[in-house]
Structure 1
């Protein structure tokens, strides 16, 4: 049933109640048996059985093993003895059942896990795995937890052999699972588990998500998977906790203009989360200000901030079109004494990996406190539970939160959102593809009346979303046709610029893919488009396609390098087409 774990023995509170009940019954059985035997033997002929207290106790204990000599000749028996001769064996039976349950519980859990259906597997036993497990269970999912090492069982989960066991996926019931999350502390282990799961022959769909702590390695693995000419049947993605936490932060608390001007932002620490936060705030502001007329002033403070700024703008070219980044090589003192950045900032993100340093900086740098409620965001991990101590709206608050300016942000809790992890790279690229399409059609004068697809992603019908996902999944095949591949924008590299003949060739491939997909889902050709009746005038061969419809495919291919750059990728030539 939803919310329970597969193969899970009765929960601890239930077992405690049962043990208390049968313990009480056993005690009463012993008392009732002793008193009943005393009365019964007293009525028997003299010398038949001894009434010595030790003898009575011996006869009484024999009731628990279905036999006591004074009862061999039958009744009638006193009421207390009648009760005891049934209740005492019942206690014995319960004890045997409980002992068997304890002896065979582990094997039973393994068997049930192996034969489970529609459940979720979480591999790992660190903070990410435990947080994700709790949130999955809170969402009503059935969870099979696979510890990286042999650890004690945690209520609400099913434990199976350690993740290093070669048969771990089979033992966890991977054949019938709905999703797998590889969240151990080792990138190689997570990648191996994810790839092994994605390669298995399955009859049911499987979503596989592997945590990769190194952002650049995560980007490289995403590039290799997206670049496949023939993607596997399983849905596979690699995720980074800092990237997810930054995305969640700005989705819930977007940047807002201050008196009509872009907010002033300070990022302290060019750590993985600091860099991810800078990229996400730029993405979010680009949507608000698509023309790029108002750049966000950003102070990046770190011992190597100049190098970090250069790496980020090379990896994500749109950053320089959205933000005006001023690097400060050094600590906070250099920013405060430099005079080159307007103080106080409107939003501050303290992103040091050293959590004590991050918290200390937030508490002593009063020059940063004037941005309003929630303006000073402090990245925390193991100290994230301190946020209740500073929450003025919480009953357990014991420390002032600087008039609401302080915001302690737990990155692991924010990142371990199953819905956020499920919004994988293909989904994000599909969304960017649609947004690029809307912008392109706006330039050609289309509107919602003429083109029903001219709506935000959230309002787009599922059939159109599926088409955009199909286009994103097909990127690898198209590049393979040109002898190209995807590469993460890490370090220097020569990006391949698509030539017009290549654009024409990929446009033809995209149109053919689109036609095949539409026909397979019941669409037919007609002179006028009718989404309700599944009719479309573009369902014809490329040679017979009208020029404006061909140009739509050309525009989609021309936008491809920018779409990939938005995710941190570039196209490179690896061989002749």
Structure 2
């Protein structure tokens, strides 16, 4: 906005004003406050800043109608990106696979993305692996240590050049981020080939930029590379005006205020108990970090957040509470360490010393109970946000022996899905498949028309190899549509599919009668003649 327009700016009560890095924001706010003096209805001004440090603004008079909010573009973008592509997108954390984040480039918002990953990638005892690809690996390592204090206590760091990334198959890359917009296409093409050779995997490759990317067609998509823009994809009306990104964080904070009041204390009298509108950014950040990790916790125990009306009630088991309490302590410790805190026998807020920055096993039982209490409260917090929890029901779609095997009639598929949803009303149905045949692609496409059915893609080979097998554009487009809608993309490697299904699936959907004793023991299949489905368990 030109300076002369800023000089005449007068926000309306019904239309919030959003400005990206305006010159001299303090002077602008002072002028607006004077211009709006006497207005009866509040006026909202949102200042988006590229610099990680929020601009220094003077405090407005309590009676001023002007309401000023600041938004860190990089941090908001990082939260939005990992909400859309979580680190467990490309690994089965409930089965013991571990996340591996690969980052190419150091332009904005690379620093914020790394910090968000370090805050959120807590799924078990093993640390997140981070691989930085840079022409100067030593400089990349130094940059990481300078921007992420104590980051190597949270994650295992590896640095290499883009030409020789030193990838291996023991911990496949689960998500790759490219923060080098001018060379994103070249990086993505090279990474697709390197990942396919190293581990046969096809993780999502997210090309990140500040400005919007040019629009493209699905038919031109390679199945892996996807664009993400801080401005177009993170600064949406839902985020800016409705506060959707902070809905759960606000719920967590209101729950805390209620807890303080229930103890006979006034939350308004505590720095961390102020209403959200007056809450310091450091406390807002802590609530956001806790909210952002909710879905990671659910993934660890094969659960999913769903609309509350689908759920009658939910409680974690004792074993799940203990497992998640360990993870919650690691998450809390990472939050503290990234803020500069270190361990000391006596707490000292001024020096950022904390006695609880130790392993979970070294905590006293009362301290462990704090983490257990936080885990037990997850269903309540989600319920206050209009969400419930369901355990997953994993149904494996078994590939036919012949690619010529036709899919069953749509009416039989609809009937089977209806029976599964009716038999397991408290479970979230997930179809797990490699999408390697017309039959499994047709079944998956019809199944996910139901809003309560999810899709997991099981990779035995690279996606580029699967796309190469698509002999016509319609088949390719169908496969790409299904890949885009998959909630998880799990690398299994050659020969790993049968073992994964036997261990993880509760029901197997076979194209033909299965062998006796094949696992899982709950099975259904198409009877000879193709006119009915056979179930060998009570549905």
Mark yes or no: TM-score above 0.5: no
**TM-score under structure 2 length normalisation:** 0.41
Structure that is richer in strand per residue: 2
Structure that is richer in helix per residue: 1
Asked which structure has the greater RCO (Cα within 8 Å, sep 6+), the reply is 2
**TM-score under structure 1 length normalisation:** 0.39
